[in-house]
Structure formats: structure tokens, C-alpha cells
Amino acid sequence: MTKINVSTGAVKEFECDEMTVTFNVAVKEADSGKAAAVGKEQVEKLLAALEEKASIKPENMAFEDENVVESRFEDDNKKRFTFEKSFSFSAKADMAVVGALTDIVKGLKYAEYDVDFFLSENDAKKDEVLAAATENSRRKAEIIAKSLGLKITGIGKVNFGGRGSYSVQELQQEQIMTAGVKPKGRAALVALPKRRIESSVDITWLAE
């Protein structure tokens, strides 16, 4: 019996199909009451724009508690008060929605947003990549065995691992959308980012 050890792997990219969008409204004023009043007004303005222009209703949002924080500027040592409130929603990843959000937020002085993209059924996709890595190992072992006049008869030992990561290009695209900025027109916001999943296997095949 001959042992053939094959270390190999597989890489697949999957388009992200879910997203969470988080909005933040921040208003700075010299008076805490004014900061709170203006901040609440801006929150209502943003919510109204989201419902009117993107059909995103307030009841679909998850709201964080609002707060007003006191701070001082080093240049004049005067008090400033910052009102902040965040809220978010989750949905199927859709670049048309992201584009609409960009336009809405650009028209508001105190609002910004952040987008996080995800994969649904992540474990199933990892299993798919692991199966592909195993198949690559089997195919290579069969090629080696055939060249030696042998046939694969079984498996002696298996070690495997895996990880997922974003490519550099995908990270750059995600950062563009996170900033809520529309550079060089809508072209930079056309494609959804992809999740790259890698899996490796080290299999000892038995051949006779």
C-alpha cells in the first residue's frame, strides 16, 4: 500500500446578500436645550426623507437612546453640547437602496450613515468551499496514483482548515459606501462587495 499526501485548497467568492445600515445624527450647539431641539428636528427630518424617498419606514428601524454630551473646545474653552442619536435597519443587500441613501444623506447637514454587508447561510457556503478543496485533493491524488500505475483505495488521514476574508479591492469599495460619498458618479456604487472564503485540506490518500 502506498500513501499519497496532498495539501491543497479552494477559494470561492460569494456576493454579499444582506446589509445593515446605521444612521447617526449629531448636532453641536452652545446650549444643551438647543442641541437637543435641533437634533430631534434633524432626526425627524431624516426619518421623513427615508420614508418618502426610499420607502424605509420608522417602524422598521432599531433606535438607540439619544444623548447630549458636554465638551469644551481648546481654542476658546467654551462649553459645547453635542446631541447624538443612532438608528439602523437590516435588509437584503441592494445597491439601488444604497445609492438612494447616499443622495438623501448628502442633502442633510447633520446626518451620516454606515453600511455593513454580510453573507446569509455563511456556514453552508463554508461547507461548499471545503467540499471543493476536498475534491481538488482527490483529483490530484488520482493523477499522481495513475502516473504511478496505482489506484486510490481509501483515506489514511485528513486535516483541514478555512477562513474568510475581503480582498483589497472589495475593502476599498466598502469604504467608499461606508463614507456615504458618491465618488465619480454612481459607477463606484454599482456592484455589491463579495466575501472570499478559503479552505485548505491536507489529506493522506491510500493507493494500491
Q: Residues 111-158: pLDDT tens digits? A: 999 998 888 888 898 889 989 999 999 999 999 999 999 999 999 988
* Domain spanning 2-16+121-207: CATH superfamily: Protein of unknown function (DUF541), domain 1 (3.30.110.170)
For residues 97 and 20, the answer to whether their CB atoms sit within 8 Å is: no
Consecutive H or E run containing 50:
helix 32-54
Cell of 93: 443587500
Q: What angle do CA 72, 74, 76 make, to 5 degrees?
A: 85
Instruction: Say whether pLDDT at 87 is over 50.
Output: yes
> Rounded to an integer, what distance in angstroms lies between the CA atom of residue 116 and that of residue 52?
23
> Rounded to an integer, what distance in angstroms lies between the CA atom of residue 42 and that of residue 21?
18
Would you call 199 exposed, middle or buried from its count of C-beta atoms within 10 A (0-12, 13-18, 19+)? buried
- Residue with the bigger pLDDT between 126 and 183: it is 126
- The domain spans of the chain are 2-16+121-207, 18-118
* Domain spanning 18-118: CATH superfamily: Protein of unknown function (DUF541), domain 2 (3.30.70.2970)
For residues 52 and 116, the answer to whether their CB atoms sit within 8 Å is: no
Look up the pTM and report it. 0.74
Secondary structure of 108-177 as H, E, C letters = CCCEEEEEEEECCCHHHHHHHHHHHHHHHHHHHHHHHHHHCCCCEEEEEEEEEEEEEECCHHHHHHHHHH
